[in-house]
Structure 1
Amino acid sequence: MPLSSLSDAIRARPGRHVRWRDLDLRTHQADFGPYRIHWAEAGGGDDAVALVHGLSGSSRWWARNIGPLTSKYRVLIPDLIGFGRSRVGIRALPDVPGVAHVLGQWLSFAAGGPAYLVGHSMGGQIAIHLASREPERIKRLVLVDAAGLPRPLTPRHVMRFAYEVAPPRQWGDPTFLPIILGDAFSAGAWTVLRALRNILRDDVRPLLADLRVPTLLLWGQRDTIIPLSHGEQMRQLIPDSRLLVLRGAFHNPMVDAPHEFNEAVLRFLSGEEVGE
């Protein structure tokens, strides 16, 4: 797509004030082993891009990105196991590799073949596992403020981390806070804590050198939950990867800077070099 057409496609759609219920979405569900995955779908075309949310999130976190991406792609937006409408009930929540395995099954089913994959925070951590283990499923990979690098778990560091993640201090756009809190409440404290434990126990560093799909790291400049230093370390460890920092954005750059985020993703998926 020519850059002028790309910019026109982005400007033609609203950014910060998109409401989930106003999007033209098709909803689906299917079982993969013991887990039922719910997802939304928008747009058409032969190429599919999947948007994978982070901890205590849901498909709703991508409301500001779906419209622009449908200018060229069929967009698939799942609720990960335990979150959104993909509840687990009394079943045990899988660990990160386990969720990645189910996500791979879902992606092949929903996309009908290899697809582009965009993962945010915990979703990025899961995407790393999937792309390193089953690269044939992924055409290009976008990691957005991705989790997966270990951090100290001393009481001082845990208290500092709790201070940083407490909304609304470091969560960016305050109009998005009701969705953050609503999704966390819907998932429930037990699911969120189990998922957080799985995130902190996992270390993706041994997997990064095995990522052979083109990879773009997108990071919020002001993210203190998963700081920019993590993105810089991942760029050094992932072969031929590039990093783009979105100025002024916090942990959810797809929400805080949707126009810049959407343009960067569209350019990267079309094969352009984005970032440094």
Structure 2
Amino acid sequence: MQDGLSTTTEAPEAWLAGLEADARRLKTPCGDGTMAWHIWGEGEPLVLLHGGSGSWRHWARNIGPLSQHRMVVCPDIPGLGDSAMPPQAESPAPVAAIIRAGIGQVLGAAQCYDLCGFSYGALLSGHVAAQAGEELRSVTLVGAGALGPKRQVTELTKVRSLEGEARIAAHRHNLAALMFADPAKIDPLALAIQEWNTRHARFVSRGFAGSTGLRDSIAQARCPVALLYGERDAIAWPELELRFAALRSVQPEAWTGVVPGAGHWVAYEAAATFTAMLLDMLRRRIGS
């Protein structure tokens, strides 16, 4: 299983379809419908929660390498991708409860697992950690907001009314503004993922990013915690240290890391470096 299209001439949509076809697919209850789960590999479970307006495809370049070492479990967060909308709620906590219940059904209530969440998925990971018991071995937060420090405003282009070349140009602009540090790394696969995710996104999570919801929830975590950013993450740069300090104010032993030169979607833009760092962090924190 590859980490991207660099070694093949296959079209991005076909490559993504092949990656999805390699997965074991499950469903768990979510609102009036179901939550979609994809599982690759064997071994100790690593649950990956994607970002806002996303899907499991946010992890497309990491799934293959990670699944050589772990069982990789990627749900579509409620209201995004192929998962049904969650019941209306004033905070992310009820959505996290749906995810936690789904993890228990997919893995078995007694199965221990590690959790890694990106952006909105990091916020939900904090709430899952606050609710979880000994089954959660560690939580890794990637590109996290909602820690207290204010983030810079990122102007994005609305794409829903656009089609054709104008829509592709809008995707490219939005990826350059928010997700990538180096626009030259916005390749056809990234554009294909952005297009699919945007078409399927219904739940709007941006309103949570300016809160202290993650700092408050992760304070209750009883497992090892880590926080990782791309060096040029648009929601944190140039004040990464403020965010590390905010986390350490509630989790003094937290591990922190920076991927040089990468942006918000660090797991894609610097896939090999990110994957190696995540595996190393897990080994050093929990010995797996």
TM-score normalised over the length of structure 1: 0.80
Identity %: 26
Q: CA deviation at 1:35?
A: 4.7
Give the aligned partner of residue 15 of structure 1.
3
Give the aligned partner of residue 4 of structure 1.
none
Q: CA RMSD in A?
A: 2.7
Q: Verify: 1:239 aligned to 2:252, yes or no.
A: yes
Amino acid at match of 2:80: F
How far apart, in 2, do the equivalents of 1:94 and 1:38 lie?
Answer: 23
How far apart, in 2, do the equivalents of 1:145 and 1:152 lie?
Answer: 14
Q: CA deviation at 1:49?
A: 0.7
Give the aligned partner of residue 149 of structure 1.
147
Write the mapping of 1:1-276 to structure 2, written as runs, cut at 5 A. Answer: 14-17=2-5, 19-23=15-19, 24-32=22-30, 34-45=32-43, 47-88=44-85, 92=88, 95-112=91-108, 113-150=111-148, 160-162=153-155, 166-172=174-180, 173-175=185-187, 176-188=190-202, 191-192=203-204, 195-201=205-211, 203-227=213-237, 228-229=240-241, 231-237=243-249, 238-271=251-284
How far apart, in 2, do the equivalents of 1:61 and 1:217 lie?
Answer: 18
What is the DSSP-based 3-state SS (H/G/I as helix, E as strand, rest coil) of the residue aligned with 2:248? helix
How far apart, in 2, do the equivalents of 1:135 and 1:106 lie?
Answer: 15
How far apart, in 2, do the equivalents of 1:231 and 1:273 lie?
Answer: 24
8 Å CA contact retained: 1:235, 1:243 = no
User: Gapped runs of 5+ residues in structure 1?
Assistant: 1-12
Write out per-residue CA displacement over residues 216-252 of structure 1, whole angstroms, 9 at most, x where no aligned residue: 2111001112442454234422231111100111001
Q: How many residues get paired?
A: 251
User: Gapped runs of 5+ residues in structure 2?
Assistant: 7-14, 158-172
Q: CA deviation at 1:125?
A: 0.7
Q: Give the ranges of 4+ consecutive aligned residues of structure 1 lying more than 6 Å apart after TM superposition.
A: none
Q: CA deviation at 1:163?
A: 5.7
What is the DSSP-based 3-state SS (H/G/I as helix, E as strand, rest coil) of the residue aligned with 1:243? strand
8 Å CA contact retained: 2:143, 2:228 = yes
8 Å CA contact retained: 2:117, 2:125 = yes
Write out per-residue CA displacement over residues 71-127 of structure 1, whole angstroms, 9 at most, x where no aligned residue: 2211110000000000329x5367311111111101111122221101000100111
Amino acid at match of 1:98: P
8 Å CA contact retained: 1:44, 1:73 = yes
